[in-house]
Structure 1
Amino acid sequence: MKHILSIGILCLLAACSPKENQKIFVYEGNPLVRNNFTADPAALVHGDRLYLYVGHDEYYAGQDTASGGREFNITEWLCYSTTDMKNWTEHGAVLSPADFKWAVGEAWASQVIERDGKFYYYTTVQAGEPCVGKAIGVAVSDSPTGPFTDAIGRPLVTDDMTSNGARGWWNDIDPTVLVEEDGQAWLCWGNGTCFLARLKPNMTELDGDIAVVDLPEYVEGPWLHVRNGIYYLTYASMGEGRENIAYATASGMEGPWTYRGELTGMAENSFTIHPAIVEFKGKWYLFYHNAALTLDGRAGAIGRRSVCVDELHYNEDGTMQYVEQTKGN
């Protein structure tokens, strides 16, 4: 009997222990992640744990002279998690553009949400023929750390479904998803134009027409959340030559949306910035990225960014207080 108990305890410990590819690190101030260049944060709370999904910015020869979007080199999405915002577990790569057979590379911003025990990974990839251009794909898993697999075998949103506008072939990027209390799910995305559409309960099909949300100085990177009956649409807006974070509020997803001003200033050393907002254990947090990290002798740059986090506070009227971006040790 003792031997059986000992074996059982050992098996339990093995199951609870981190996987071999998992590393533990302690948050020491911003940037949060310091062993990789990371960008476009997305946060998910599930159970007692907060999961952080990021694009892995990777250096390549010629990156510093590239332009037109080629400065960015994200070939996988990484996941980190925490139970206390101090000690973090690195789960490694959980999804890659190669997991979508219809994709031809280039991973951009994403978000993971949970519904009915399934985890849906909405992300930006470059589509091949016949849907050339940036597209939104969706992958699914039974676990927040994957493995994630292509949910429908084709893009969820393609360039021919939206008006090209000023940005043309890369309008359809940066998906964010919100599931309301009544179960209605919404998808919001876009560069240059902010698009909004309902999702069917299966989370893999649009339900109805695609609408356009008119927001001042909207650029990209929308994020949806709800607090005390107020709907928030936070996004990267154009500041004085670089992006900052602004937001609008509404009483429901169909608007009207009221512009509330800037939430942050511009990110250090970075043209882009990307918000993610989440409540975790009674506190609200804003995740974003800058380009303040130097790693392996290479300084941060437009395509070598670093994810950060700061607490977020609300006024009595529901507006969000301006967030000063902090620096660590």
Structure 2
Amino acid sequence: MNRHHLLMAVAAVMLPLTQSAAQELNMPVIQTKYTADPAPMVHNDTVYLYTTHDENDAEGFHMKDWLLYTSTDMVNWQDRGAVASLENFEWFKGKNGAWAEQVIERNGKWYMYCPIHGHGIGVLTSDSPYGPFKDPIGKPLVWQKEHWYDIDPTVFIDDDGQAYMYWGNPKTYYVKLNKDMISYSGEIVEVPHIKDYQEGPWCYKRNGHYYMAFASTCCPEGIGYAMSKSPTGPWEYKGHIMNHTHRTRGNHPGIIDYKGKSYCFGLNYDIFRLETSRHAERRSVSVAEMTYNADGTIQELPYFLDCKLEQIEHFNPFRKVEAETMAWGYGLETVAKNPWGKERWNQLVTGIDNGEYIQLKGVDFAKGATSFKVCASCHLYGGTMEIRLDGVDGKLIGSVNITNTKTELKVFETKIKGATGVHDLYFVFKGSEKQKRNLFNLDWWEFK
């Protein structure tokens, strides 16, 4: 069976899900954009999830920029927008090719390693995890022009301060990075082939063991891993973190420890499956809790949909919360509020249609909320924002009628009754006979 026929066979078994069924499964954590190639990192008690971005019209790979999402509880994620794009590399004139990146922090600076397919691996730097990122060297950091294997970089810093960058499909390479993190010393080293390795390496160290997780042989790809006693190998294949399955096609691991638990991020097509059973490169990032054995090996996970992802702390609603923070928001969109402003990461929730909703999980109302504010803008007739607990038809604790504001963002307020304790929070959007689509835009909200 050739690659084309295999893809058609995979697509044939990927039947579309309904949204109600999706809510009962461990679905991807981002629904407002197509995200892929997760690159999580932990900094100051927050998970920073950097991703690639499949455009909404993608059939093959159509990728222009890199996105960021943050969370402190692993289920509610704030959209931080695009932190870098192909335009940051002046030496690349193409309009496509923003492939799987990784970001690492060192001495108060953030370094983003970005492959541009067919043009090597570039590096960007920033003084903030939110950007702006800039190109400090004006050329690729690595480019082996004799082939197109220079993709999917992963970087880690060993306990002795030596940094390493690994990459490659179908072969694996590494270099020793200098302390400046934007240059390297020595030769590019080819790693002996690891069983089942395809692409997307993710290298890290934990409890004295060196790990190389990777997308295992296509197609479909699983997540495999190898271990070593040294950052330069030899690498011993250990098996699957997640086995190959026709329930998805591609994969790409990102692994972290956070607040006493371990997590494996990957990708799939499950949000796209809500629309259609056909195949296109419109992927989404999922995450599952991961368990290590006493000897450092990893217990194999089922497919993401069958895993259970626990919230690790309750969500505080008694503060100004950006509206682009959510556990579920299928059908909605996010756009930059002001891409040229100081808070360039700030987003607006838009594309709000009748019947759509935002869900936040595990919201702690403590002894009770009495009022609610929301900052919104409305170009035409507007609609109603119902505030409900534990479901789209759950207990109604308040509602806000968002009316025409022209183009101005204004604050709307309502009283709240019956919100105590911990609940899932739903903002359910309702239109009218005059308007059922694009009802309004949301900036932020707050309970008191």
What TM-score, normalized by structure 2, do the two folds share? 0.60
Q: Which residue of 1 aligns with 2:56?
A: 59
Supply the distance in 1 between the matched residues of 2:82 and 2:128 (Cα, whole angstroms): 14
Q: Secondary structure at the match of 2:184?
A: coil
Higher mean alpha-carbon deviation, 195-204 vs 80-89, is at: 80-89
Alignment size in residue pairs: 282
Q: Which residue of 2 aligns with 1:110?
A: 101
Q: Which runs of 5+ in 2 are unaligned?
A: 1-22, 307-327, 329-448
CA deviation map 1:192-245 (0-9, x unaligned):
100011001100112111111121132110001111000000111216x32111
Paired residues of 1:270 and 1:305 also in contact (CA < 8 A) = no
Q: Secondary structure at the match of 1:30?
A: coil
Partner residue of 2:137 out of 152, 173, 183: 152
Paired residues of 2:29 and 2:77 also in contact (CA < 8 A) = no
Larger radius of gyration: 2
Q: Which residue of 1 aligns with 2:164?
A: 186
Supply the distance in 1 between the matched residues of 2:189 and 2:240 (Cα, whole angstroms): 24
| Structure 1 residues 33 and 27, CA gap change in structure 2 (3 angstroms) | farther
CA deviation map 1:104-145 (0-9, x unaligned):
23100000000000000001114xxxxxx2310100001111
Paired residues of 1:267 and 1:291 also in contact (CA < 8 A) = no
Partner residue of 1:234 out of 194, 213, 232: 213
Matched, 1:222 2:201: yes
Paired residues of 1:184 and 1:201 also in contact (CA < 8 A) = yes
Q: Secondary structure at the match of 1:327?
A: helix
Paired residues of 2:204 and 2:212 also in contact (CA < 8 A) = yes
Q: Which residue of 1 aligns with 2:74?
A: 85
CA deviation map 1:156-214 (0-9, x unaligned):
01123xxx5xxx3x200000001011110000000110001100110011211111112
Partner residue of 2:250 out of 254, 268, 272: 272
Supply the distance in 2 between the matched residues of 1:74 and 1:184 (Cα, whole angstroms): 32
CA deviation map 1:37-70 (0-9, x unaligned):
110000010011000011111133xx54xxxxxx
* Deviation of the 1:295 alpha carbon: 8.0
Q: Which residue of 2 aligns with 1:257?
A: 235
Supply the distance in 2 between the matched residues of 1:229 and 1:302 (Cα, whole angstroms): 41
The amino acid across from 2:62 in the alignment is N
| Structure 1 residues 216 and 296, CA gap change in structure 2 (3 angstroms) | closer
Q: Secondary structure at the match of 1:208?
A: strand
Partner residue of 2:121 out of 116, 136, 150: 136
Supply the distance in 2 between the matched residues of 1:120 and 1:146 (Cα, whole angstroms): 10
| Structure 1 residues 300 and 146, CA gap change in structure 2 (3 angstroms) | farther
* Deviation of the 1:35 alpha carbon: 1.0
Paired residues of 1:96 and 1:107 also in contact (CA < 8 A) = yes
Supply the distance in 2 between the matched residues of 1:118 and 1:279 (Cα, whole angstroms): 21
Supply the distance in 2 between the matched residues of 1:253 and 1:243 (Cα, whole angstroms): 25
Supply the distance in 2 between the matched residues of 1:93 and 1:28 (Cα, whole angstroms): 28
Paired residues of 2:38 and 2:267 also in contact (CA < 8 A) = yes
Q: Secondary structure at the match of 2:187?
A: coil
CA deviation map 1:261-302 (0-9, x unaligned):
121123565432100000111111000001111389466744
Q: Which residue of 2 aligns with 1:317?
A: 295
Q: Which runs of 5+ in 1 are unaligned?
A: 1-25, 65-70, 127-132
The amino acid across from 2:212 in the alignment is L
Paired residues of 1:119 and 1:140 also in contact (CA < 8 A) = yes
Q: Secondary structure at the match of 1:98?
A: helix
The amino acid across from 1:48 in the alignment is D
The amino acid across from 1:137 in the alignment is G
Matches within 5 A, 1:2-41: 29-41=26-38
Partner residue of 2:283 out of 298, 301, 305: 305
Matched, 1:75 2:61: no
Supply the distance in 1 between the matched residues of 2:54 and 2:127 (Cα, whole angstroms): 26
Q: Identity across aligned pairs (percent)?
A: 43
| Structure 1 residues 199 and 84, CA gap change in structure 2 (3 angstroms) | same
The amino acid across from 1:176 in the alignment is T
Paired residues of 1:27 and 1:88 also in contact (CA < 8 A) = no
RMSD (Å) for aligned C-alpha atoms: 2.1
The amino acid across from 1:112 in the alignment is V
Paired residues of 1:44 and 1:112 also in contact (CA < 8 A) = yes
Paired residues of 2:39 and 2:102 also in contact (CA < 8 A) = yes
Q: Which residue of 1 aligns with 2:350?
A: none
Supply the distance in 2 between the matched residues of 1:122 and 1:172 (Cα, whole angstroms): 11
Q: Secondary structure at the match of 1:79?
A: strand
The amino acid across from 1:44 in the alignment is M
Supply the distance in 1 between the matched residues of 2:289 and 2:65 (Cα, whole angstroms): 27
* Deviation of the 1:327 alpha carbon: 2.0
Matched, 1:121 2:106: no
